[in-house]
Structure 1
Amino acid sequence: MSDAMKSSPLRVLFVNRMACLERGGGETFDLEISRHLATAGAQVLFLSGAPLFGPPPMPMAGARVLHTPWLRWFPWDKVKGGWRVRKLEFDWFEWRAARWVAKHAAEFDVIQVCELPNLVYWLKKRGVKTPVVMRLTAPNYYDPRGGVPLADALIASGTSIQKLRDLGLEVADIPNAVDADLFRPQPSDFRKKHGIGAGEFVALYVARFQAFKNHQMLLEAFARFAKDRPASRLVLAGSGPLRERTEQQARELGIADKVLFLGEVPFQELPGVYAATDVKVISSDYESFCFAAIEAMSTALPVLTTDCAWVPRLVAEDAGIVVPVGDAEAFAAGLKKLADNPALRQRMGAAGRQQVLERHTWPTSAEKLMALYGRLVEKRLMPVATPQGNAHA
């Protein structure tokens, strides 16, 4: 890194439409790694979305917000053609964000974008010179204008890396991580607060209510398991368009009194929720990574997961149990095995936490990202070589 860069803080703009609206893996990554970048001396600003009318539901101190349409209630992943509505929402935000960023680009050394390929396209079309880093959270991105290849650098983690490289894209591996000091075994009043007995077996699922998270299969599996294990609870944390449908399913299965819907849980309260439960469950059809898995492992919880791409790799080393995708019977059997074996749960939990401490910490990921930023900024500052003409006497 050049002396000029060392003498002044790196100025980074994070553009993440959902950061002030709702939290998922992409938002968790940006929020956590930006915090560690700031600890390393960088100056960080967020540009996020907000509802067309009213304040953002998850405000961030100092963040700039752009008010655009947000149909939170619309089940876009269940309705035929619903993705078009989702696309229009993002298009509107990206268009407004491109205007704002182009106006303020000179105030930053690096612009980091969470997906949003249209934004990258429009920034480059407007001639923005500030390096743009795009993080891709999944390989099946939608990029009709060809913005992804225009980014100055691409970053990803999990299964997305190889799939993106198979498409001919150069991608830097910046691993997802977890704050192991925050997510750790610790005392918790969660059970007392929600009337859950000390002897009850509690399974936790932290996920948005979207189709690919497959809450439907999870409830079917839990209903089978609970028939023989009445002293058990299923805790669901998160929001999304399919929550009401999931609540209705719990009533139809006769387990509504055993399923606790928490809604969105503030990030700082999540460690206490994990610490009060016995197993982390993941019923997804697909996951490119899964922050909730490493949060649970860091808290020394065993993980019961479907064979959903990347997560089985995380738990493969004795940190959990893997069952086929969509198999409610196998999932119920996994719950029973863990409920009947406290020693197995303890052994798997210890193995998971050790794996997190060795491979998935934020300071390491932030250091890699800062090094990437440094290379991009230095490349931009390098003088452009000009051809020398022949001298004539």
Structure 2
Amino acid sequence: MEPIRVLHNIVLMDTGGIETLVMNLYRHIDREQLLFDFLVHRPQEGFYEPEIKSYGGKIFRTQPFNPLKTAGFKKECMEVFENHPEYKVLHAHQELNLWPLEYAHKAGIPTRIAHSHNAKTVVNLKYFFFRYEKLFIKKHCTDMFMCSTPAGEWSFGKKAVADGKVRFIKNGIETDRFKFDEKIRRGVREELGVGDKTVIGHVGRFMQQKNHTFLLEIFSVIHKKNPNTVLALCGEGRLEDEIRQKAKELNIDDSVIFLG
């Protein structure tokens, strides 16, 4: 019997938190019974794509989504849905999921999952489209998932969460990968040139939700009390230059490592 194929809607299969969660699941499911395929909306290859293909997964690409110009995006999504009737499940992960879910509904995909991974987001143009999405998303999804109660309440409303209509999906982590290893510790410390200093690490995009500004303010206090400390920031994003400038203003830039 052919495995069931689930189509995941994700902007790009790079090394973000959502993408890593999905890949952790992909590595441990029975792939003779279930396979993950991906509908992405960027032309470049994502970090995880070779691994996905090694498992037998497929990648479909559309143009990037623009809520002000949806015609081309809709056409390309509908082509995937209509040309691949084997998909009975669309799992939509990120903000502005209303449109892929609506198109999947129109194409007759019976199971359509809206998965909230974020609580209230930064107020910009995207925010207003997300508020619009919240009015209609429950009309087009059959199932609602959340990574936390605040995320579920933000996307689907407090009543839906309180009534048990939103399923809580834990963000699983492969803990064995993070077991302490003295050899690795020494090698990384040597590579970074930090000697015996106390290293505080942070992994996250340079985006408003990750609150790097507050992190630097905390570290500046720690560093004043203990100069034998460094802060290692792993990630990239549109606020990186701003955070670098903040480190200079706090006079801690020589003790903050930007790992990329």
Task: Report the TM range for the smaller structure's normalisation.
Answer: 0.7 to 0.9
Cα deviation per residue 1:41-62 (whole Å; 9 max; x = unaligned)?
A: 31221221224xxx33535023
Query: Which residue among 159, 168, 174 is the counterpart of 1:173?
Result: 168
Q: Is the 8 A contact 2:3 2:32 kept in 1?
A: no
- Which one has a bigger Cα radius of gyration? 1
SS of 1:239's equivalent?
Answer: coil
Alignment partner of 1:226 out of 220, 223, 226 = 223
| Structure 1 residues 93 and 231: CA distance shift in structure 2, 3 A | farther
Q: Does the C-alpha gap of structure 1 residues 28 and 59 become closer, same or farther in structure 2, counting only changes over 3 Å?
A: closer
Structure 2 residue identity aligned to 1:16: I
- The answer to whether the aligner puts 1:134 opposite 2:124 as a matched pair is no
Amino acid in the other structure paired with 1:45 = D
Could you tell which deviates more after superposition, 41-50 or 135-144?
135-144
Where does the alignment leave 5 or more consecutive residues of structure 1 unmatched? 1-6, 71-84, 264-393
Root mean square deviation, CA, Å: 2.8
Superposition deviation, residue 196 in structure 1:
1.1
Q: CA deviation at 1:110?
A: 2.0
Amino acid at match of 2:224: K
Given the superposition, is the C-alpha separation of residues 213 and 200 from structure 1 closer, same or farther in structure 2, using an over 3 Å criterion?
same
Q: Which residue of 2 aligns with 1:200?
A: 197
Residue 8 of structure 2 contacts residue 90 of structure 2 at CA under 8 Å; is this kept in 1?
Answer: yes
What is the Cα deviation at residue 165 of structure 1? 5.8
SS of residue matched to 2:236: coil
Q: Are 1:60 and 2:49 an aligned pair? A: yes
Q: Are 1:153 and 2:147 an aligned pair?
A: no
Tell whether 2:99 aligns with 1:118: yes
Higher relative contact order (CA 8 A, sep 6+): 1
Shift of 1:88: 5.3
In the alignment, residue 7 of structure 2 is paired with which amino acid? L
Paired position in structure 1 for 2:123: none
Following superposition, the deviation at residue 129 of structure 1 comes to 3.2
Counterpart code for 2:91:
Q
Q: Find the aligned partners of 1:93 and 1:35 in 2 and give their Cα distance.
A: 33
Percent of matched pairs sharing the same residue: 24
Q: Could you state the TM-score of these two structures normalised by the residue count of structure 1?
A: 0.53
Residue identity in the other structure for 1:50: R
Question: Amino acid of the residue matched to residue 100 of structure 2?
Answer: L
State the distance in 2 between where 1:175 and 1:97 align: 32
Q: Name the residue aligned to 1:46.
A: 38
Asked if 2 retains the 8 angstrom alpha-carbon contact of 1:105 and 1:130, the reply is no
Maintained 8 Å contact 2:247/2:256: yes
CA drift at 1:241: 0.6
Q: Which residue type is aligned with residue 114 of structure 2?
A: M
Aligned-partner Cα distance in 1 for 2:30–2:147: 21
Deviations 1:130-181 (A, max 9, x none): 4222211135454167133321211122224662462436212221110122
SS in 1 for 2:61: strand
Question: Normalized against structure 2, the TM-score is what?
Answer: 0.77
State the number of aligned residues.
234
* 1:215 maps onto 2:212 in alignment: yes
Q: Distance in 2 between matches of 1:97 and 1:235?
A: 41
Q: For residues 332-343 of structure 1, what are the structure 2 equivalents within 5 Å?
A: none
Shift of the 9–240 alpha-carbon distance from structure 1 to 2, 3 Å rule, reads same
Query: What pairs up with 1:185-334 in 2 under 5 angstroms?
Result: 185-187=180-182, 188=184, 189-197=187-195, 199-263=196-260
Q: Tell me the distance in 2 between the aligned counterparts of 1:248 and 1:92.
A: 41
Pair 1:57–1:19, CA change in 2 (3 A)? closer
CA contact (8 A) 2:3 2:31 kept: no
Of 103, 118, 126, the residue aligned with 2:82 is 103
For residues 169 and 92 of structure 2, the distance between their equivalents in structure 1, rounded to whole angstroms, comes to 14
- Residues 69 and 15 of structure 1: CA distance in aligned 2, closer, same or farther (over 3 Å): closer
| Conserved? CA contact 1:49–1:93, under 8 Å | no
Q: Distance in 2 between matches of 1:114 and 1:174?
A: 12
Q: How much has 1:206 moved relative to structure 2?
A: 0.9
Paired with 1:92 and 1:35, the residues of 2 have a C-alpha distance of 35
Q: Are the aligned partners of 1:161 and 1:173 in contact in 2 as well (CA < 8 Å)? A: no
Shift of 1:193: 0.8
